[in-house]
Structure formats: C-alpha cells, structure tokens
Amino acid sequence: MTDQALGATPQPFQMDFDISTIKHLGLQMYSTLPPVVGELIANAWDANATSVEITIPETPIDELTSELFIVDNGLGMSDEDIRQRYLIVGRDRREQEESDRTAAPFQRKVMGRKGIGKFSAFGIAKEIEIESVNDGECSHFVMNYDKMLDCATRRKAEFMPLPPTGNVTCGTAITLRQITKFKTRRISLTTLRRGLARRFATVGPTHNFDVVINGSPISVAERDLQRLLGKDADGNRYLWRFENVEIEPDTGWKVSGWIGALDRTTPSLDGVDRGISIMARGKLVQEPFLFNAVVGQQYALSYIVGELHAEFVDELEDTIGTNRNALVWDTDANTRLMAWGKEQVNKIAREWARKRSDDNQQRLQQNDLYREFKERAGGVGNKRALDLADRLVRQVVSKNPTAGVEELEPVIRTSLDFLEFDAFWEITQDLVNSDLEDVGRLFTLFREWEIVEAKEMSRVTEGRIATIEKLQALIERDTLEVPTLHNFLKEFPWVIDPRWTLVDDEVRYSDVLRKEFRESQEMLESDRRIDFLCVREGTNLVVVEIKRAQKKASDKELDQIERYVAFMRDHVQKTTDPDFLYQDVVGYLLCGDLVDTAWVRQKRQNLERSRIFVRRYADLLEMVKRAHREFIQRYGELKARQG
C-alpha cells in the first residue's frame, strides 16, 4: 500500500541528473514537434497502449496559456515504476528486464532503449506534467525546466506528488506547458500528421495501435507514399521492392522495403521530404536521406523516396544515435548498410532516368500537339525539314527525362510557330548536330535565332500594352473596385515593375497589415486606401498600398508606406516558419499623383534608397512602353528583312 493510501506524508519523486545532459537531450536535440511527440508515442507503444490521443491548440500559441496533451490507454506507471524506472536517466529497459518484448497480450517489440525520450519535450516546452494510473494507483507530478536549473548544482531534482485530477482512469497523460517553440504561431496539424505518419510503421488496425490528433486518427493511407509515385507509360509505378535482402552474406543483416520515384521534384507541392527513411521495430531510426549517393543522373535524386526496414540496427547492439533520428555509421553492420544503400540508389537513379526517357518517347507518339507538328512539318514539302524537326523534339525529350511530355510542349509549340522560317531550319540543323546538354552551345545557337526571339517578345509586348490601356481606361472612368484591382495587379505584376513575371499572393501578410493599420471611420472617402496587396517576388515580400486614382500623396502618405514596410520587415525577421522567410521587404505606393513640394520630392528620393517606391497610375503605361520599345523596333526591322 502506498504512503498516500496510508495517509502518510507523500515522499517526493527524485531524479539524479546532469543539467548539461538535459539540455543536450531536450533543448538541443529536439526542436520540432514530430520528433518530440514521436518519443512520447513510442513510450505509449511500449506501455501496450492501443490508442494515443493528441490534442493540439488550433489557435496561435500563447506561452502562458497554451497546452499540448498526449494521453494513452496503456498499462500506466505505479509509484514504484516512476521511482525505480521512469526517473532513472539512461536506464536500458531491454537489458534490465532481459527482454525486448512488452508484456502479454501484445508482446510487441520494445521501441525505447536509452530512457531519455521523456526529456524530448523540453525541446519545445518548459513544463511537463505526468499523471499515470496503474492498476488503480495514480502517480502525478510536474517536471519544470527552470526549477531543475535552480537545483543543477546539487545534481538532484525533487518533484512533489500531486493529488489525482480524476481525469485519468488508466494509462498515462502528458501535458506540455510554457510552449516556447511556436510563439504566437499556429502549429501546423498537417505537418505534424505527415511527420508522425512517416515515423511509425505500426499505426493502424493491423498493429492494434491508433494515433489520434484532435479527434482524427492517422490513417494507413497517410503513410502510403507509394500512391504519390510517378507512373510509366504503361501505368505502373516507378517502384523497386526489397524482401529480406541480405546485404552481406552469412551475416543475417537483412533489409526489406521499397524505393520509388515521385512524379514531381517540389516538396512544397506534396509535403514529402525526399530521401529514404530507415525503420527498426516499427519506428523511424534514420531521417530520410540518400546514402551519400553520387550519380551521373544527379537530378534523379530529387525524385527518390522510400522506406527500408533494417531490424539489425537495433537488436543486440544499439547503433542508433542519441537523438534516435539518425544511425551511427561506424559499426560494421551500418557501414555495410551505407555501402549497399548507396549502390541501390545509384542503380535505381540510372534505371529511372533511362526508363523515364523511354516512357516520354512512348507518350510523345500519343501527344496531339506532336502529331499536329509532324503533319505541319510534312506539309512544308521538305522531307529533310520533317526529319530534322522530329529528331530535334525527340532529342529534347530524351535529354530531359525529368520533364513530362506536357512540360516539353512549349518546344513543340515554338517549332510549330516557326516552321516556315528558313532561320528555324538552319538553327534546327545545328541543334540536332550538337550535344543538347551543352547549355553554352544552346545559348549561342538561340541567340542567333533572332526572328524567334523578336516575334515572341513582340507578342508579349503588344499584349502588355493592351493590358495597360485597359487599366488606364478603368482609371479614367474611376471604376476601380477592390477585388478588380487586387486581382488585376496579382495577374499582371509587371504593371508595377516590368521585371516581374510571376508572383504569389501572400494573403496572410495583407491581413496582418490591415489589422495593424486600421483606418479611422472619420477619414474622407477620397483619402482612404483601396487595399493592401502583399506578394512574394523571388525572395522578397512586396507590400503595395493602393490609393485611389484621384489621390495626391503627401508626406503623410509617404510616412505611412515607410511605417508599413518597417513593420513588415520586423515581422518577417521574427518568423521561424520556413514557408515565410524573406531576404527583404520592398514597398510600393500606388496613387494618382504626388504633392509637388521640395519636402515630398526629397522624401521620395530617400525612400527609393530604402527600396520603397512611388508609382503613379499615369506612369504605368509609359514605363511598359519604354521597357519594350527596343523589342518592338527590333521585330519590325527583322520582319522587313525577312519579307
């Protein structure tokens, strides 16, 4: 019977520790949420839990009030378990219990080994509350990082037992408070789900183990990266399987799993980290990587993903690094695994590149634009021209296996547009006889193809001038409305700066500015801004304040745009979200005119040195015409020469 049951004063829980060890095992090694939660899930698995319920705030994190909950229905821990096992730093469960299996009825392979997973939460939070119930007995206490610092010199921490909350009837509940890693930001549930799904091969009904995030279980389908693999011309996945492959004869070092190639190379589009993860005992032991592979088809490596299971890395000898996310590679078994993996990745990259090229050639025959191209080329009445054109397109497809036929259609379309120019056939002959991987040679040849470049630029220029004239008509009629102008500038960003061709609308930052700089309800309608527009242009965030066409901007408006940009520069510097990192913030004030005073003129010059610019609606048309005047003149001269 426990002291609490007897009515005696409860004895504090004690832990001998070295604060540098806690810093290393928590703060320094665990800085993102999936690995932290992953360690707590592994503990639940080892406790024979069948369910882990994770609750994450869906509002921005507040360090003082936000809490994360990880609750399992496992065996829980008794008072003795906590004192003699849980709070012993570095305890090797498998060695002490002389078993690497959990208790009946599951007898699972134990994931934990070093007794340090409990400290992972200190990587994101300063306080960890543990409440655990085993056979009706409740143990409840709090570990606070700052208080542990205070007793670091004694190298012993004491945690006073707390009364049961009544919320836990079985298993263990972990509460994380004083969340330091996500200050004022929301936690991405999608990223967390994706990260946990890839960390555990044991999630789902097959293993009687559910992981539930905010009421929604992680499904087996979320682990299935094979569904994202590209397909060959016959509809089969680019997939290589391994089943108990012994990587070194007579060693028992066996590997199972798969390696495949995705159909795209941009992780931001599918959220999948490229590389091959290694699993042991159903848990990730090596973050996705490519076995240091170096192959001629280096581009192919950016498409490769996979999952290999190598139980031998976590059997008799523990060859997993302290952070449990990477292997130690200097053992005999792991050295051989690295060599075997590198060999497989190199081989698969070569095979995939060759097969992708062959598949593209096969798809090319079915492409409607290519068929039209061959018909039109044949209609020129020049068999040599037809052969040249066909060879050109085929070679481009062959030399660019990572691009699908659809992505190479511009090459076919350009050839269609210029079939009847003699210059096209001359340049095609040079291209076919050259190495299409020699970028310098291709650059020289295309520079000689002036008629193509000039005609295309003329087409773009004329379209841009028509667009500017449309904007000018809207301005003159004073028919600009918020959605119309916002979408217009997003679609045609070169109206503001002719160098811009593609921008991404950053609604999040537009909303931040609107919230921070609200306009007074008493302001005259003519003085009000139309809208804020924030866009991503390369590595810059561009802030555009859109004023009305009749508005003359004074030093007041120039001061305002300067404050907006200064605020956003400070805002983006504080963010740690990789999706919202920028090198600089650039500002534009779009207005009807400027007040003509020496102060305003000087202020405008000073702002331009800080990359804050003023654009008048009346200037836009002349800017675009001036920027493209050379191309219009050049095309006219070449067209006259051709005729």
Pairing of strands 125-134, 171-179: antiparallel
3-class secondary structure, 623: helix
User: 38 burial class (0-12, 13-18, 19+ CB within 10 angstroms)?
Assistant: buried
Angle between helix axes 598-609 and 555-574 (nearest 10 degrees) is: 20
Q: Report all structural domains of the chain as residue ranges with CATH numbers, in order of start.
A: 3-219 (3.30.565.10), 225-342 (3.30.230), 365-448 (no CATH), 477-626 (3.40.1350.10)
Tokens of 272: 């999948």
Tokens of 180: 């330091």
Contact status, residue 79 vs residue 68, Cβ threshold 8 Å? no
Angle between helix axes 189-199 and 33-46 (nearest 10 degrees) is: 50
Write down the pLDDT at residue 35.
87
Q: pLDDT of 230-268, one tens digit each?
A: 888 888 999 999 999 999 999 999 999 999 998 877 665
Closest CA to 544 of 574, 500, 579, 576: 500
What type of residue sits at position 293? A
- Is the whole model's pTM more than 0.75, yes or no? no
Contact status, residue 315 vs residue 333, Cβ threshold 8 Å? no
- Highest averaged pLDDT of the listed ranges 121-125, 282-286, 487-491: 282-286
Contact status, residue 128 vs residue 147, Cβ threshold 8 Å? no
Q: Is the per-residue pLDDT at 489 higher than 90?
A: no
Q: pLDDT of 569-603, one tens digit each?
A: 888 877 766 656 677 888 888 888 899 999 999 99
Distance CA 52, CA 36 (A): 14
Contact status, residue 324 vs residue 39, Cβ threshold 8 Å? yes
CA distances in angstroms from 480 to 472, 519, 547, 548, 593, listed in the order given? 10, 19, 10, 8, 16
Distance CA 106, CA 112 (A): 16
Closest CA to 102 of 208, 218, 237: 208
Distance CA 167, CA 519 (A): 48
Distance CA 590, CA 616 (A): 6
What type of residue sits at position 213? I
pLDDT band at 443 (very low <50, low <70, confident <90, very high): very low
464 sits in which H/E element:
helix 450-477
Q: pLDDT of 306-348, one tens digit each?
A: 999 999 999 877 787 766 678 888 899 999 999 999 999 999 9
Q: Is the per-residue pLDDT at 528 higher than 70?
A: no
Residue 188 vs residue 308, higher pLDDT? 308
Distance CA 301, CA 294 (A): 9
Q: Which residues fall within 8 angstroms of residue 505, CB to CB, at 6 or more apart?
A: 490, 533, 534, 535
CA distances in angstroms from 592 to 598, 599, 616, 637, listed in the order given? 18, 18, 5, 37
Give me the sign of the Cα torsion angle 8, 10, 14, 19.
negative
Contact status, residue 171 vs residue 132, Cβ threshold 8 Å? yes
Average pLDDT over all residues of the chain: 79
Residue 545 vs residue 536, higher pLDDT? 545
Q: Which residues fall within 8 angstroms of residue 228, CB to CB, at 6 or more apart?
A: 262, 263, 270, 272, 305
pLDDT band at 118 (very low <50, low <70, confident <90, very high): confident
Tokens of 479: 């028919």
Contact status, residue 313 vs residue 320, Cβ threshold 8 Å? yes
Closest CA to 86 of 47, 53, 49: 47
Contact status, residue 588 vs residue 613, Cβ threshold 8 Å? yes
Distance CA 642, CA 499 (A): 30
Pairing of strands 13-16, 137-144: unpaired
Write down the pLDDT at residue 579.
59
Tokens of 64: 């003082």
Q: Is the per-residue pLDDT at 57 higher than 70?
A: yes
- Chain-centre distance of CA 114, in angstroms? 31
Residue found by looking up tokens 């004491």 in the block: 158
The dihedrals phi and psi of 151, each to the nearest 5 degrees, come to -110, 25
Q: pLDDT of 69-91, one tens digit each?
A: 999 999 999 999 999 999 988 78
CA distances in angstroms from 380 to 163, 376, 413, 426, 427, listed in the order given? 91, 7, 16, 15, 17
Buried b (16+ CB within 10 A) or exposed e, 56-77: bbeeebeeeebbbebbbbbbbb
Q: pLDDT of 548-561, one tens digit each?
A: 777 788 988 899 88
Distance CA 398, CA 414 (A): 18
Distance CA 362, CA 442 (A): 25
Contact status, residue 68 vs residue 179, Cβ threshold 8 Å? yes
Half-sphere exposure of residue 330: CA atoms within 13 angstroms, side-chain side: 1
Tokens of 616: 């008048």
Distance CA 258, CA 241 (A): 4
Residue 279 vs residue 406, higher pLDDT? 279
The percentage of residues in the chain with a pLDDT greater than 70, rounded to a whole number, is: 68
Residue found by looking up tokens 């500038």 in the block: 489
Contact status, residue 224 vs residue 201, Cβ threshold 8 Å? no
